[in-house]
Structure 1
Amino acid sequence: MPSFDIVSKVDMQEVDNAVNQAVKEIAQRYDFKGSKSEVTLEKDAIKVLTEDDFRLKAIIDILQSKFIKRGISAKALQYGKVENASGSMVRQVIDVQQGVSKEKGKEINNVIKETKLKVQSQIQDDQVRVTGKNIDDLQQVIQLLKGKDLGLDLQFVNFRQ
């Protein structure tokens, strides 16, 4: 039976490259001269530490532009709340989402079931597998999910006939 997998993966090497480019730009920008601003990548999170909210927003704009240039969707980033750090600094943690969570998987399953197409979907770890007898039905599911905004950067992989 034909099938495909729905995943949400981010190339961490591209994330690292985007963060490094952002750090270089921050070091060269005039409005950041003499400021104590840090952007660090730790496993699946980006930590931003700077002096005030204005600079924090500017750093996030720089990061977003670098991510888009590197081909990483902005939906892959989940922003934490802005926290006060020591010495009148502000900190924000930005999580890089990897995989489809159980809740999002259930939401995807519900969207697929609402279509009344003859396909089955099941959650497998951090992905959703969709199977069906007709390839056209599977392609309709892909088009439907591309049109929906589920808050994730979805990729459709492993299409087998």
Structure 2
Amino acid sequence: MAATSSFDVVSDFDRQELVNAIDQTIREIKSRFDLKDTKTTVELGEDVITINTDSEFTLDAVHTLLQTKSAKRNLSLKIFDYGTVESASGSRVRQEIKLKKGISKEIAKQISLLIRDEFKKVQASIQGDAVRVSAKDKDDLQAVIQRLKQEDLPVALQFNNYR
């Protein structure tokens, strides 16, 4: 009798890599000629990044820097949920970027429906903010991972607890 194998589909990010990406962004802001005198701040909270700068032009430059540094550290850009640009004191602008973590119920249902439709020998069950995928054959699980990597979902997916 064959034992079943499984893995979890989760949406998470390495917080230390994010801290490093933000530190590199701040260093480059301080050294770049066009951003040096803007008094730009980038602050990392528990689940939000706050950018405070002097104009929307420099805000776009900081976005580009943050995205470049994050991509170099293998962080998906799908973890960033950009909020609206607000006016701050002294004709400055502020923006909060929420950090997305976990798979919502709607996306989890979409993933499990996709697995159920395309892979008959594979079971998917929603467990909180993760999806557990199990099957008797490990090749089927590898095929599911490859298929989910092709799907363009609004969250960054990782596959862990592969047993």
Q: Which residue of 1 aligns with 2:150?
A: 147
Indicate if the aligned counterparts of 1:117 and 1:137 stay in contact, CA closer than 8 A. no
Task: Kindly state the Cα deviation for residue 148 of structure 1 after the two structures are TM-superposed.
Answer: 0.6
Rounded Cα–Cα distance in structure 2 between residues aligned with 1:101 and 1:125: 9
Q: Which residue of 1 aligns with 2:48?
A: 45
Name the amino acid aligned to 1:138.
L
Rounded Cα–Cα distance in structure 1 between residues aligned with 2:91 and 2:154: 33
Rounded Cα–Cα distance in structure 1 between residues aligned with 2:142 and 2:37: 54
Rounded Cα–Cα distance in structure 2 between residues aligned with 1:60 and 1:44: 17
Rounded Cα–Cα distance in structure 1 between residues aligned with 2:120 and 2:139: 10
Q: Which residue of 1 aligns with 2:81?
A: 78
Alignment of 1:2 onto 2:5: yes
Q: TM-score, normalised by structure 2?
A: 0.92
RMSD over equivalenced CA pairs, Å: 1.3
Q: Number of residues paired by the alignment?
A: 160
Q: Identity over aligned residues, as a percent?
A: 48
Name the amino acid aligned to 1:125.
G
Rounded Cα–Cα distance in structure 1 between residues aligned with 2:81 and 2:48: 9
Alignment of 1:156 onto 2:153: no
Task: Kindly state the Cα deviation for residue 117 of structure 1 after the two structures are TM-superposed.
Answer: 2.1
Rounded Cα–Cα distance in structure 1 between residues aligned with 2:37 and 2:139: 59
Matches within 5 A, 1:1-161: 1-160=4-163
Give CA deviations for 1:17-36 in whole Å, capped at 9, x if unaligned: 11011011101111113212
Name the amino acid aligned to 1:99.
G
Give CA deviations for 1:66-115 in whole Å, capped at 9, x if unaligned: 10111111122111121222221111111222221222211211211221
Q: Which runs of 5+ in 2 are unaligned?
A: none
Q: Which runs of 5+ in 1 are unaligned?
A: none
Task: Kindly state the Cα deviation for residue 129 of structure 1 after the two structures are TM-superposed.
Answer: 0.2
Q: Name the SS for the 2:161 alignment partner.
A: strand
Q: TM-score, normalised by structure 1?
A: 0.93
Task: Kindly state the Cα deviation for residue 116 of structure 1 after the two structures are TM-superposed.
Answer: 4.2
